[in-house]
Amino acid sequence: MGSLKPVEEHRCFGGTVGFYRHRSEACSCEMGFSVYLPPQAGEELVPVLYYLAGLTCTEETFQIKGGAQRYAAEHGIMLVAPDTSPRNTGIEGEDEDWDFGTGAGFYIDATREPWSAHYNMYTYVTEELRQTVLENFPARGDAQGIFGHSMGGHGALTLALKNPDLYCSVSALAPICHPTDVPWGKKAFGGYLDPNEETWREHDATELVRRGRIFDGTILVDQGLDDQFLGEQLSPEAFERACEEAKQPLILRRHAGYDHSYYFISTFMEEHISHHAARLCRE
């Protein structure tokens, strides 16, 4: 794990937003991430909330567009946002598609060459980035939550369901709920993973719940009904049915008039931060 390289820092709601780079062993390249430190971090260890962004985004997108810092400052929560994939790895074709390769790591560990040498976002987020944050920032290791949008919503749901010992809270905004059954997921899994589609189910939130992976707590999901990707790519109804059958507590809220953008995300950001604070900020 390489040493941390500060890139820039900005004052924000009494705290700071910082951008950092470090050498990643999991991804065999330099990775970037951002951290919002609330004012309380100057005096004590604070809970950590990880945000996983969607296709084409970077570690900067959430900090600029999400509108989360005000609410994180109120609750005393650190916000951490990794990049969405390795970059500039030299893999042929990694920059050809907006929904595969660069900016589209899908928060899984690739098993197919040449992607397996670098595209290991699952290990990066759950192990390497988490350890980097704990070692370099005033973070509480016993109070960590995770949420995300679209591809990142898929990541947040699957990482939480597979690692209930790491994450105390989880939520998602317009997540890809059933990636093994939609074009985005089939393209990504078909490129990154081996041809046996049965193994893909371990990276699908709907299939994980069907297989008995239950999160200890309520999952919050918000979905806009004017989302241009709702019908073809997101499948919230499949996840809803799986949770009902498995008795997984789920709050799935549908909102008329809202699309897939950060206008939608920022509208419901306060409620998502509050959802996590209810679990993370308990004594």
pLDDT digits (tens, 9 = 90+) for 184-227: 999 999 999 999 999 999 999 999 999 999 999 999 999 999 99
Q: What is the spatial distance between Cα 250 and Cα 270, in angstroms, rounded to a whole number? A: 18
In total, the chain counts a number of residues equal to 283
The per-residue pLDDT for 282 is: 74
- For 171-184, what is the mean pLDDT? 98
- Give tens-digit pLDDT for 222-259: 999 999 999 999 999 999 999 999 999 999 999 999 99
Q: What is the spatial distance between Cα 181 and Cα 212, in angstroms, rounded to a whole number? A: 19
User: Is residue 1 predicted with pLDDT exceeding 50?
Assistant: no
Mapping DSSP to helix (H, G, I), strand (E, B) and coil, where does residue 160 land?
Answer: helix
Strand partners, 252: 221
Amino acid identity for residue 153 in this structure: G
Phi, psi of 51 (to 5 degrees): -115, 125
Q: For residue 227, indicate whether it is catalytic.
A: yes
Q: What is the residue-averaged pLDDT of the chain?
A: 97
CB 206 within 8 A of CB 239: yes
Query: How big is the chain by its Cα radius of gyration, in Å?
Result: 17
Q: pLDDT-derived band of residue 2, with 50, 70 and 90 as boundaries?
A: low
Residues 6+ apart with CB under 8 A from 111: 192, 193, 194
- For 157-166, what is the mean pLDDT? 97
- 272 sits in which H/E element: helix 269-280
Of 227, 235, 272, 276, which residue is the catalytic one? Answer: 227
Of 75, 178, 203, 260, which residue is the catalytic one? Answer: 260
- Give tens-digit pLDDT for 70-120: 999 999 999 999 999 999 999 999 999 999 999 999 999 999 999 999 999
Q: For residue 194, indicate whether it is catalytic.
A: no
The structure tokens listed for 138 are: 């005033």
Of 24, 34, 85, 150, which residue is the catalytic one? Answer: 150
Report CA-CA distances (Å) from 30 to 2, 23, 27, 206.
Answer: 9, 4, 8, 32
Q: For residue 150, indicate whether it is catalytic.
A: yes
